[in-house]
Structure 1
Amino acid sequence: MPVDERPRERLRNEGAENLSQSELLAIILRTGTVQDNVIELSTRLLAKYGGIKGLARISFAELCREHGVGEAKAAQLLAALEIGKRLSRVTSEDKYQIRSADDAARLIKMDMMYLTHEEMRILVLDTKNNVIENIARYKGTVNSSVLRAAEVFRAAVIRNCPSVIIAHNHPSGDPTPSPEDIEVTRQLVEAGKHLDIELLDHLIIGNPRHVSLKERLHW
């Protein structure tokens, strides 16, 4: 490959924004194999896993099993992907005000849409709907057998906050609410009334869409 066509040289001369995903990935991986140069290796990985979004879902062990990757390259790649995820988040030090379901989804979606297991998030809000706390709960399965109203509202009670938003993901990527999602939501709305804490919404996070149960159920 001519020197001026190599990804690192192109980045230096033309800027990172002008590189393809394969070229950016090649810079992270640095070297290829005897059979594939680093661009070919990058292209193969992107094709196999459906692009950057797919790569963000796979584990360290899965990456290490790929020919030409190994532990060092897997660590470099997953670290780069994690930096990208963190950059997209609003940090806990920033004031983040929730004005709509989309606002809440933007805060948590990048963390949740690529998960391969179910997880619940609880956003605790102050009187101006600023996010005071963003809590991860129930990693593994989110259903009525494990979900407890006391756990959902505990942080709001401790902080004397008037409302919460909850969210959970569907690893399938389809955010269509199940009958159990709807029933759990109704139970939590009623439990919140007894505690004088409002459940503002229950979001179901898919990939790439999300669903607001407040908009569906109109409570």
Structure 2
Amino acid sequence: MISLRIHEQPLHDQPRERLARQGAGALSDAELLAILLRVGTNGTNVLQLAQQLLAESGGLQGLQRLDFQELCRLHGMGVSKAATVKAALEIGRRLARSAIEERFPIRSPADVATLLLVEMSHLDQEHLRTILLDTKNRVQQITTVYIGSLNAANVRVGEVFKEAVRRNSAGIIVVHNHPSGEPTPSMEDIEITRQLVSAGRLLDIEVVDHLIIGNGRYVSMRERGLGFE
């Protein structure tokens, strides 16, 4: 079977021309990626290269999870292509978050999951983040407080509430992930929650919930009555 180079395909079938004619929404993930990559490699046109990259990495989410060096090492990539892909994925992530965050009201743990579940499900280190809320439970800001192994001894309460105090927030939601993929709370998680809830009462900043995120799943500590006694 003969493989056509991308410029040898009929003009109307090429990704950039289809985007201009039909809009970006009409293109497949591989076609969008091909536009970013611009050129393929010897014997592989750019669309085939895009398809191979998506298959090897597990789709766009897989590409997002790869760090810059890992992306550079994939067949047909390199510093320039990797930088372009990483930049595009980050722009998309920021746009998606800003659209959701803009005065987004939190009414349930599921709303928190809408904000952070996909992004935090696949982190390879523990991250602790705070969602700052105004008096109507609308999102003011999402802040990363810690990256690394979390335990009750190294979580400084002042750091967790620092931005909330600065923004005069009415409440916070604490979110952290378990890289193992299992969101079941540990005894350390319960102790951290107790400490934060107690500190929030003193600061007059309500700890609305503490969510633990695993692989596509989450646990609400408040719903389970853990640390909120």
- TM score, norm. by length of structure 1: 0.87
Contact 1:142 1:168 in 2 (8 A): no
The CA deviation at 1:49 is 1.1
Q: Kindly indicate whether residue 146 of structure 2 is the aligned counterpart of residue 142 of structure 1.
A: no
**Residue 10 of structure 1, aligned match among 18, 34, 41:** 18
**Residue 40 of structure 1, aligned match among 17, 33, 48:** 48
Contact 1:204 1:212 in 2 (8 A): yes
CA distance in 2 between counterparts of 1:77 and 1:94 reads 26
Contact 1:89 1:110 in 2 (8 A): no
The CA deviation at 1:147 is 0.7
Contact 2:125 2:149 in 1 (8 A): yes
- TM score, norm. by length of structure 2: 0.83
CA distance in 1 between counterparts of 2:168 and 2:31 reads 50
Deviations 1:78-116, CA, capped at 9 Å, x for gaps: 111111101111369932322222223333445534433
Equivalent residue, structure 2, for 1:152:
160
Q: Any residues of structure 2 matched to 1:93-108 within 5 Å, and which? A: 94-108=102-116
CA distance in 2 between counterparts of 1:212 and 1:21 reads 34
Q: Any residues of structure 2 matched to 1:1-219 within 5 Å, and which? A: 1=4, 2-3=9-10, 4-90=12-98, 94-109=102-117, 111-217=119-225, 219=228
Report the secondary structure of 1:61's partner residue. helix
Identity of counterpart residues, as a percentage?
53
* Structure 1: gaps spanning 5 or more residues: none
Contact 2:34 2:47 in 1 (8 A): yes
The CA deviation at 1:25 is 1.0
Deviations 1:1-55, CA, capped at 9 Å, x for gaps: 4223322233233332222211111111111100321122111111111111110
CA distance in 2 between counterparts of 1:195 and 1:123 reads 16
Task: Return the letter of the residue paired with 1:24.
Answer: L
Contact 2:105 2:138 in 1 (8 A): yes
Q: Which moved more, 1:93-102 or 1:133-142?
A: 93-102
* Structure 2: gaps spanning 5 or more residues: none
Aligned length: 219
RMSD after superposition = 2.4
Report the secondary structure of 1:181's partner residue. helix
Task: Return the letter of the residue paired with 2:97.
Answer: R
Task: Return the letter of the residue paired with 1:213.
Answer: M
CA distance in 2 between counterparts of 1:162 and 1:15 reads 42
Task: Return the letter of the residue paired with 2:27.
Answer: L
